Amino acid sequence: MNGVFDLGGTDGLGPVENDHMSEAVFRAEWEKRVFPMFAQSARAGLFNVDQFRHGIEKMDPAEYLLSNYYEHWMHTIEHYAEVAGILDPADLEKRTQYYLENPDAPLPERETDTEIVEFVDWAVSNGFPANRESDKEARFSVGDEVVIGNESPYGHTRRARYIRGHRGVITAAHGTFLYPDTAGNGLGDCPEHLYTIKFTAAELWGPEAADPNGVNYFDVWEPYLTPVPATQGA
């Protein structure tokens, strides 16, 4: 989908806030409560990582820009808990009001589920690789010139606007990986070949605006690519 989250090349957002506060992993106690919800909610089947991202992408654009990173996380977790039928927005508002008036009120009694703790320990050290076996043959190889297709699909995609329609060269071929354009839209892993594409800055931004010797790299899945049309010659 086209949206404000697709920020590459957006002008007018002001300077990068680069202060000492940025060194803290978590800047508020509430951030510490949101961060761990991700792995556990994924374990519970509320979303995969691409769906998690897409939930953030669907935020109100003004709210997206004016809220911080972990508020984005809270938003998408709420969204998928509601989709799963385990969260009622009216109930969440009621509880929010209660905790606002009683900030020290305890959370509900929690069961000590050792399985979840074991899972998070396992997940932290092993992770979830996104490469997937496939017998699909690669249509492209390193050194090929390609053009990024111009499509603007609805739903989740990693086809950022700033690369669409532009021409680059494949610098690495990584094998097959789960495809966000299906995985993020609840349509399955559907592995596709993944490539790294090198663009000159001039190709992306025009020779006037670009750094004369700048280079941009972007990873794309095969369905985003089309061969460079053979227009040379008479």
The CA-based dihedral angle spanning residues 150, 227, 218, 188, taken in that order and rounded to the nearest 10 degrees:
70
190 vs 234 by CB, closer to another protein: 190
Who's near 187: CB < 8 A, 6+ residues apart? none
Q: 16-55: which residues touch another protein (CB under 8 A)?
A: 16-18, 21-30, 32-37, 39-41, 44, 46, 53
- φ, ψ at 158 (rounded to 5°): -110, 20
Strand partners, 146: 168, 227
19 vs 229 by CB, closer to another protein: 19
| Of 77-85, 134-142, 145-153, 225-233: span binding another protein (CB under 8 A) | 77-85
Q: 162-191: which residues touch another protein (CB under 8 A)?
A: 162, 174, 177
Q: Please report where in the chains the tokens 């979830």 appear, as a residue.
A: 128
Cα gap 38→80, rounded to integer Å: 11
- What's the closest the beta carbon of residue 113 comes to another protein, in angstroms? 5
Q: 201-230: which residues touch another protein (CB under 8 A)?
A: 204-205, 209, 211-221
Count other Cβ atoms within 10 Å, centred on residue 206: 9
How many chain residues interact with another protein (CB under 8 A)?
Answer: 101
- What's the closest the beta carbon of residue 196 comes to another protein, in angstroms? 8
Site map 133..152 versus another protein, x via CB under 8 A: --------------------
CB-CB contact of 33 with 99 (8 Å)? no
Query: Smallest Cα–Cα separation from 218: which of 163, 140, 156, 146?
Result: 163
Q: Is the dihedral of CA 110, 116, 121, 127 positive or negative?
A: negative
Contacting residue, 125, 133, 143, 154, with another protein by CB under 8 A: 125
3 vs 230 by CB, closer to another protein: 3
99 vs 141 by CB, closer to another protein: 99
Q: Is 117 in the site for another protein (CB under 8 A)?
A: yes
Q: Is 107 in the site for another protein (CB under 8 A)?
A: yes
Cα gap 68→29, rounded to integer Å: 14
23 vs 135 by CB, closer to another protein: 23
Q: Is 71 in the site for another protein (CB under 8 A)?
A: yes
Strand partners, 220: 195
220 SS3 class: strand
23 vs 137 by CB, closer to another protein: 23
